[in-house]
Structure 1
Amino acid sequence: MKFALSPEHQDFGASIRKLFESGSTAAAVRAWSAGDPAPGRALIEQLAAAGAFGLTITEEFGGLDAEPLDQVVAFVEIGRAAAPGPLVESAAAVPALLQTLAGTDPEPARRWLPGIAEGTVSATVAFTGTGGRAIAVDADRVDLVLVADGDRIGTGRVGAAVRSVDPARRLFTVEADELLAEGPRAAEAVAAAFDAGTLANAAQLLGAGKALLDASTDYVKQRKQFGRPIGEFQAVKQKLADVLIGLDLAEPLLHRAALTTATANRARDTSAAAVACADAAYRAARAALQVHGAIGYTAEYDLSLWLTRVTALRTAWGTPDLHRGRIAEALRTGPAADPAGALT
């Protein structure tokens, strides 16, 4: 059986990629890091106009009611561009959380989701384990901060800044404020939000890995040693071939996870995609740094934007060990295993 994206998915991905081809994305990422969110918000507005924030929001709450695969396609291109902002949180995690809660209390979804779908409302969410800190991305620049702690969900107050390996992923501690929901339904919403965010994050990693491979391939064609482009050396060819193989093997797992979000295998498949995409992107980052040499270390060189992004995203939605543990638990107990087990 051959699985491939439909022409519609391919066209949608191409339209998202085109948004970032103006050459201003890298400057927007640097401005976001430096405290000027205006260029980044202009990009976010373009994404919202393309429908990227309302893809998995139902029509009842002002969204497009599209397939999770559509969102994956969009986030691969977002990762390819290393776009700034709490995009995973606003477009994937928070909509999944609020729509799951809507089964018992639709008021929060009615209040926030239409604005999120339009791009006029931004949101972020922090997950905590037992006794853990709640840390959220860009909590000082969003309209809605949520704190998800096991079977309790509430709004959050912004606390102190936390240093991030990626300056464009600005982290803050948050403290729970107003309680929105608690109990089994809240736990279900937390699990849904975590898996939705993990899937979108995996797509971002795959896109970043593709961007790093493209940058490396272009560079080795130009960089010369001993009078020859370094791309002609077998060792360099093999290294980049390994990167390509890793990305190509991760992509079907990502697509499968998108197709099983409504099944009992959601947690297992999402974690499998997370591990594969993180490993492939990290391999791409290491290879890119090695073939670029010393210039790859410089913050002024755009390659650094993807290197730091991959480093940060690799553990942003759970470490590889956490996700391997979820896969092992699902295989041990069967598909009915609690998908939120790793969060409580």
Structure 2
Amino acid sequence: MKFELSADQRDFATSLDRLLAGADTVSVARAWADGDHAPGRALWARLTEQGLLSLATEASPVEVVVALEALGRHAVPGPWVESAAYLPVALGREVHGMATVALPPLAPLALDADAADEVYLGSAPARAVGDPRVSVDRTRRLFAVEPVDSSASPEVLVDDAALDLAVLATAAQLLGAGERILADTVAYVTQRRQFGRAIGSYQALKHALADVRIALDFARPLVWGAALEPTRRDTAAAKVATADAAYLAARTGLQLHGAIGYTAEFDLSLWLTKVRALVGAWGTPAHHRAVVLDALVGAGA
């Protein structure tokens, strides 16, 4: 089967990429990491005007994937999976402003609850937000939240369709981040010279980058396939494949950049830490592998 975006979807992807390319998202992400939400909220407003918060209710999962891949490619901070994927489906409406959600056990902490206009525990508004928790990605500020009725059952109602879309949206972010790391690494090894030649001309480096290209290319059809018909098995498979591919991109990018890749001042760090955090977000690889295995075993029973 051939997966191809429609003309409208390609135009949407192009316009969104142009907007983000001109928005200095690196500066936005660094400000967000330092606790300055003003640039991020300004960008949020611009993206909201482009309809990103209404995609889950008025468009299709394909458009959600297009948008979240672009956000991952440009390292845009904020609770986009929560606001644009999970909550619109779970609540049956577009969220107002910036919203976030905790959904134990897959998403036990609420992302950016200090900046959000609405905070939920499952589909119910949260009563209180706790202290921030440390994340490897400084642009991801995680918070424990408390229910309105503290005497109620600790079980959280999970909307299956919303969860599938959130997992798929996270996979799309990973795909976008992996693609960005690969592109930046190829550009770097083309320019960096050693022993009188570009280091990208060495066969070992070419093979390492080719492995990343293959991993991302194998992951992409799983994402698009799940977007056409989001099922628990297919979204889980997409999350596993994109997590593996993006993590390989991150490890390879870090290695080929050498010592500069370890520095927080170098922009590559924004994508490296984001990939590491997203690998475990909305379900670990082990969890999603178990989902795929259970589905396959059940189908063969």
* CA displacement, residues 101-154 of structure 1 (integer Å, 9 cap, x when unaligned): xxxxxxxx4xxx2xx3xxx5211111113xx99311011111211112xxxx42
Query: Could you tell me how far apart the structure 2 residues matched to 1:309 and 1:215 are?
Result: 15
Query: What's 2:135 paired with?
Result: 164
Structure 2 contact 98–116 (Cα < 8 Å) conserved: yes
2:217 is the alignment partner of 1:248? yes
Structure 1 contact 268–330 (Cα < 8 Å) conserved: yes
TM-score (norm 1): 0.82
2:113 is the alignment partner of 1:139? yes
CA gap of 1:302–1:23, structure 2 versus 1, over 3 A, is: farther
Query: Could you tell me how far apart the structure 2 residues matched to 1:211 and 1:258 are?
Result: 21
Query: What's 2:241 paired with?
Result: 276
Query: Could you tell me how far apart the structure 1 residues matched to 2:107 and 2:33 are?
Result: 23
2:193 is the alignment partner of 1:219? no
Query: What's 2:124 paired with?
Result: 154
* CA displacement, residues 75-104 of structure 1 (integer Å, 9 cap, x when unaligned): 1111000101111100001111112xxxxx
CA gap of 1:125–1:278, structure 2 versus 1, over 3 A, is: same
Which of residues 258, 262, 270 in structure 1 aligns to 2:227? 258
Query: What's 1:342 paired with?
Result: none
Q: What is the one-letter code of the residue matched to 1:36?
A: D
2:260 is the alignment partner of 1:295? yes
Query: Could you tell me how far apart the structure 1 residues matched to 2:59 and 2:3 are?
Result: 19
**1:67: how far off?**
1.2
TM-score (norm 2): 0.94
Query: What's 2:270 paired with?
Result: 305
Q: What is the one-letter code of the residue matched to 1:146?
A: Y
Q: What is the one-letter code of the residue matched to 1:50?
A: Q
Query: Could you tell me how far apart the structure 1 residues matched to 2:131 and 2:109 are?
Result: 10
Query: What's 1:22 paired with?
Result: 22
Structure 2 contact 107–283 (Cα < 8 Å) conserved: no
- How many residue pairs align between the two structures? 297
Give the share of equivalent positions with the same residue, in percent: 50
Query: What's 1:72 paired with?
Result: 65
3-state DSSP of counterpart to 1:193: helix
Q: What is the one-letter code of the residue matched to 2:224?
A: H
Query: Could you tell me how far apart the structure 1 residues matched to 2:82 and 2:182 are?
Result: 26
Query: What's 1:326 paired with?
Result: 291
Query: Could you tell me how far apart the structure 2 residues matched to 1:133 and 1:259 are?
Result: 24
**1:23: how far off?**
5.5
Q: Which has the higher mean CA deviation after the structures are superposed, 3-12 or 317-326?
A: 3-12
3-state DSSP of counterpart to 1:121: coil
Query: Could you tell me how far apart the structure 2 residues matched to 1:221 and 1:32 are?
Result: 31
Query: Could you tell me how far apart the structure 1 residues matched to 2:116 and 2:149 are?
Result: 17
Gaps of 5+ in 1: 58-64, 100-108, 336-344
Structure 1: 4+ residue segments shifted above 3 A: none
Query: What's 1:87 paired with?
Result: 80
Alignment of 1:168-179 (within 5 A): 168-178=139-149
Query: Could you tell me how far apart the structure 1 residues matched to 2:45 and 2:117 are?
Result: 15
* CA displacement, residues 263-313 of structure 1 (integer Å, 9 cap, x when unaligned): xxx100000000011111001001100110000000000000000000000
Structure 1 contact 134–147 (Cα < 8 Å) conserved: no
